[in-house]
A and B are shown apart, each in its own frame.
Chain A
Amino acid sequence: MMHQEMKPVDTKQIKEMLNRKKGKMKRYLSYCAHCSLCAESCFLYMAHDQDPQYMPSYKVIHSLGKLYRKRGKVDRKSLMEMKGIVWRNCVLCGRCYCPIGIHIPSMITFARSILRSQDVYPQLDEASSESWL
């Protein structure tokens, strides 16, 4: 955990990764109608008393969406926040459903890859007060 928080963020590498899948991901993000119809398809949303934080669209907008909005120029604090969103709030079960046809799991997967490139990922020996369940 300490190691993760010390390392500087390689924004250039993040930008390169973002550009590699820009065509697909930017389209997915820009055509999301923010309708929230994906909510009920997520079992974590249903299990957490319908907390909007667990909506598939919310998770994507606040992780990959944020990375694209800031063109990769994010600090470690933001990456650590995204870690909770893409690992704790999503188990990548692939059951999320978008009426427009946006493939949400591929976006969460991509956000995880970017975070992993910056050494941001959950560690089993992590001393955290937050529950990962």
Chain B
Amino acid sequence: MCYFVQGPLVLIAGIIFILGLLYQGIQFFKLTKKKEWGVPPSSLEIKPQKQTKKQWVREALRTLNGTLWKTDPVLTIVTSVFHVCLIIAPLFLLGHNILLDQSWGLSLFSLPESVSNFLTLLVLICGLYFLGRRLFMARVRAISTVYDYLVLLIAVVPFLTGFLAYQQWLNYQTVILLHILSGELMLITIPFTKLGHMLFFFLYRFFIGSEYSFVRGSRTW
């Protein structure tokens, strides 16, 4: 059991994660073949005047006021920190990179352990904030189901067990096994659950033609 979780299942989870995301991506491009969204040719666009640094900062702050930053600044910060740390902490963790180096002979840059520990703690604090929001805010509770709590649990448990394993609290062998298992579960579920917004956020905001596109997306369903 331990051998399977620490060995072949890691590979299986990784393959399901990559193939799952590829499948969802291909399906998205197939479904959005039509290009009906009218993007004006660049020659017709009004070229923005050259701005001084001061003007640029003022313009950026003005734009920021029209975003979620204005309506919910706390959540904007918490969700940004959560998502950034969620990606950075496991990718640049020394322990993960040593394992990668030992098995495949390649590794990424590693952050100091204290920094990774701090980032993990940030993920946990943000996760707790999301849980509190879901439990106590009427508007979030009104649309929450058991599935939403489960998805939050899937996202946070790998970090909780990782933190516990690093601190060597509780039984290390059990905690590290749970850590590996929950990480694999997270990888497997990303392409097929709500966690898929990891991919679809970029596809929707960059490729679909819409008022809220970050770039000049022209695809349509």
Contacts and interface: CB of A to CB of B under 8 A. Distances in A.
A and B form one complex? yes
A30 B138 CA distance: 22
Contacts of B77: none
Interface stretch (A32-40, A70-78, A84-92, A118-126): A32-40
Contacts of B137: 36
B194 A33 contact: yes
Contacts of A43: none
B35 interface: no
A7 interface: no
A61 interface: yes
Given A35-B140, A52-B138, A55-B142, A101 B210 contact: yes
Interface of A: 21, 23-24, 27, 30-37, 39-40, 50, 52-53, 55, 57-58, 61, 97-103, 106
A6 B182 CA distance: 52
Interface residues of B, number: 31
Given A23-B221, A24-B221, A50-B139, 5 more contacts: A27-B28, A35-B140, A36-B137, A101-B208, A102-B204
Contacts of A103: 208, 210
Interface string B9-27: 0000000000000000001
Contacts of B208: 101, 103
A27 to B, nearest CB: 7
A32 B142 contact: no
